[in-house]
A and B are shown apart, each in its own frame.
Chain A
Amino acid sequence: MTHASSENSGPVIELNSVTRRYGTGTAEVSALQGIDVTIEHGDFVAVMGPSGSGKSTCMNILGCLDTPSSGSYRFMGIDVGQLSRDQRALLRRHYLGFVFQGFNLLNRTSALENVELPLIYRGTHAKERSQKAKKALASVGLTGWETHTPAELSGGQQQRVAIARAIVTDPSVLFADEPTGNLDSARSREIMELLTSFNRDRGLTVVMVTHDAMMASYAKRIIRFRDGFIENEESNGGR
């Protein structure tokens, strides 16, 4: 694939009048009705909005899991809309990390092997792979839990394994889709502290969907969606 342009020139993410429609004819639903978003390196953006406001659709497009119906999405200068399925997979593999509401870890698979998974797809050698995975687990505070399977971990711990899996490849952007949606408030705060620290200490760009204003308050910037449009954007200054 084409090499992405240098990290410091221009924004990481640039959406230009992006729309996304599902279905055809009378059954057509417009989830995004023309949105413009620019996210710079090192930003921490919270995307908020009620259900059906288009925030998840926007997130899928940003995460290169979906493509716009019209408009353009440039990720580090690359027009994602022009990429094939496989090229988008490679983009995800090398530049993006994902954290989901439902954790989405592989069952019956140890924490270490879950974290190793993206490295395996990158072709990292066994020794380096296990070192990196252990380091990532340590960075989320799970040293000593390497051999535990998801069933043996609490929700908060599972989400931390998922974060370790997302950051083990040193991605440019971390996408978190309601990362605290399944957790209690104490566990949620721990997860948010983790994300904040990765953003602050490593300059990791974080884009997070949430409908909890408390969680959004950790972000530097908040984008509110309503009915497929961006309702407002506000700077938060973070904590």
Chain B
Amino acid sequence: MFFETILIAMREIRRNVMRSSLTILGIVIGVAAVITMVTVGDGATKQVANEISSLGSNLLDVRPGQSFRGPGGTRSGAPMFKIADADAIEREIFGLAGVAPIVGRTAQVIYGNDNYVTQITGSTNNYLDVRNWVLSGGRIFNDVELKAGAAVCIIGDTIRKQFFEGQDPIGRTIRVVKISCQVIGVLKPKGQSGFGTDQDDFLLMPLRTVQRRIAGSTDIGSISVSAMDGVSTDKVKTDIERLMRERRQTGKNEDDDFNVRDMQEIVKTLTGTTKLLTTLLGAVAAVSLLVGGIGIMNIMLVSVTERTREIGIRLAIGAMEKQVLMQFLIEAVVLSCFGGIIGIILGIAASVAGAGALKVPFVLNIGIVAISFVFSAGVGVVFGYFPARKAAHLDPIEALRHE
């Protein structure tokens, strides 16, 4: 009996191409939309997490001024750091992989007829370790250059592209503000950061060179600290805070006039934000799934009403109620599953395309695929089944009279 019913159901699906494809369409759109949105959203979250970890997730940034909460912003009165502060952190805090004092300025760089405005960072070789930079060519600073404040620099990939496309930059001389500066190294590119800025757009010089010849002071803008693997950044953070309060003689009831930013926190904030975005996209997609479901429901209801006479004919020529029901159930299951599968294929294809276009990794969430499939197939089956049950229960005479 089951086999005959499958045959009948298949014949009905084939005969009513229009009705069948409309039913399928609702499911396809619902499933594909949910899969695409959630997959692309997940990819964006992963992307942000990847980029931040390339920045160094053990990283802490120590800056003068109050932390960036509230509208007050940086308190201008806060004293700047000196090299001695960085030395003290390196000497007294346990569990550090590296400490890099940093002075930054935005300045114009000239090579031949080209000029370009970029970020000048003055620091030590530690900067490269702390911030996860790797040289693609040349060398790091030597002790003499660091101590003497020599006119040498290591350039980011963006500057290499700007000035030296197709040439070897090592040994060339560029003008940084008024200093003729020799390029001794080139960094491997990191690309866009999760914050949307070009991380490769900078130039590294010895700390002393920038202090003396560009900034004209012995101040330090910030101190980057990286914790060793396995050491809690929270612990390092509180240690640094205590040390700095001591060194800056902050009174017991006074707020810190500096702040220590933990990259882990930023990672959490940012991934939290993108996850929220994914949830939001998912919610939008869920609405489209719901609308798709209502579409399926409509077509199923209308088609069963339309098919009452067909049910009457079948009953009259000897079909049992349960055979008619089984037929409608099989039709609904086949259409829903077929639509679900097309939706999954389409959704995955769109996700791959979307991930490619937005340059985010493709992360397939099997759970979402399953949920969207089960939901839309479930709607199709439920709304195919219950009206059919009503119709199959009709008196065959009444069903036959139905126009």
Contacts and interface: CB of A to CB of B under 8 A. Distances in A.
B366 interface: no
B400 interface: yes
A89 interface: yes
A98 B317 CA distance: 7
B318 A94 contact: yes
Interface residues of A, number: 28
A89 B15 contact: no
Interface in A93-109: 93-94, 96, 98, 100, 104-109
Given A89-B321, A108-B16, A120-B4, A100 B400 contact: yes
B395 interface: yes
Given A106-B310, A108-B16, A121 B319 contact: yes
A96 B309 CA distance: 19
A66 B312 CA distance: 13
A165 B317 CA distance: 9
Contacts of A63: 316
Interface in A67-126: 85-86, 89-90, 92-94, 96, 98, 100, 104-109, 113, 117-118, 120-123
A92 B11 contact: no
Nearest to A106: B310
B308 interface: no
Chain B interface residue bracket vs A: 20 to 34
A65 B399 CA distance: 11
Contacts of A66: 395, 397
Contacts of A65: 316, 395-397
A236 interface: no
Interface residues of B: mostly helix, strand, loop or mixed? Answer: helix
Interface string A42-68: 000000000000000000100101100
Contact of A117 (B309, B317, B396): B317
B11 A90 contact: no
Given A66-B395, A86-B321, A92-B318, A104 B313 contact: yes
Given A104-B309, A108-B16, A109-B15, A86 B320 contact: yes
Contact of A121 (B11, B16, B318): B318
Given A120-B4, A120-B7, A123-B4, A89 B319 contact: yes
A90 B323 CA distance: 12
**Residue among B313, B321, B395 with the most chain A CB within 10 A?**
B313
28 contacts: A60-B397, A65-B395, A66-B395, A66-B397, A85-B320, A85-B321, A86-B321, A86-B322, A89-B319, A89-B320, A89-B321, A90-B318, A92-B316, A92-B318, A93-B317, A96-B318, A98-B317, A104-B316, A104-B400, A105-B313, A106-B310, A109-B11, A109-B15, A121-B317, A121-B318, A121-B319, A121-B323, A123-B1
Interface of A: 60, 63, 65-66, 85-86, 89-90, 92-94, 96, 98, 100, 104-109, 113, 117-118, 120-123, 165
